[in-house]
Amino acid sequence: MEKKHYEVVAAVVKDGDRYLCTQRTRSRLKYITERWEFPGGKVKEGESDHEALLREIKEEMDWDIYVGRCLGTVEHDYPDFSITLKAYDCRPGDGDFKLYEHLDARWLTREEMKNLRWTEADRKLLELL
């Protein structure tokens, strides 16, 4: 049986020298449960990357962001699915975000980010930053 493939977008939100890192909730998939990632999600059919990112951040965090250029793309095969993950340079909008889909969020420098347990795909993105 062929694995499901997803197109996924991630917001690399930077404020000064710090980046927004979010922690996934518990999941039946041990290799992504409670791991850290850049916020974002799956692109729906007929949706642009830009639209998907704005929608996902609004749904998961009730937050508006400014989406800039694509920083890079990584491919990753997990045991149960594969993804193409595109990261976008983003800036925070006005106001604070809420955590509807994440356990935690932290603003960290590139050096501090290395100490977190990232999802494998997002760890590959760190190397592109």
pLDDT in tens, 77-91: 999 999 999 999 999
Per-residue tokens: 88? 């976008």
Question: Residue 111's pLDDT band (boundaries 50, 70, 90)?
Answer: very high
For residue 1, pLDDT beyond 80: no
Confidence (pLDDT) at 35:
96
pTM, to two decimals: 0.93
For residue 5, pLDDT beyond 90: yes
Confidence (pLDDT) at 78:
95
Residue 98: other Cβ atoms inside 10 A: 12
Can you give the length of the chain in residues?
Answer: 129
CA 50 – CA 68 distance, rounded (Å): 9
Average per-residue pLDDT in the chain? 95
Phi, psi for 94 (deg, rounded to 5): -75, 150
For residue 118, pLDDT beyond 80: yes
Per-residue tokens: 30? 């041990």
pLDDT digit string, tens, across residues 29-42: 899 999 999 999 99
For residue 128, pLDDT beyond 90: no
Confidence (pLDDT) at 95:
87
Q: Mean per-residue pLDDT for 83-105? A: 95
**Residues facing residue 53 across a β-bridge:** none
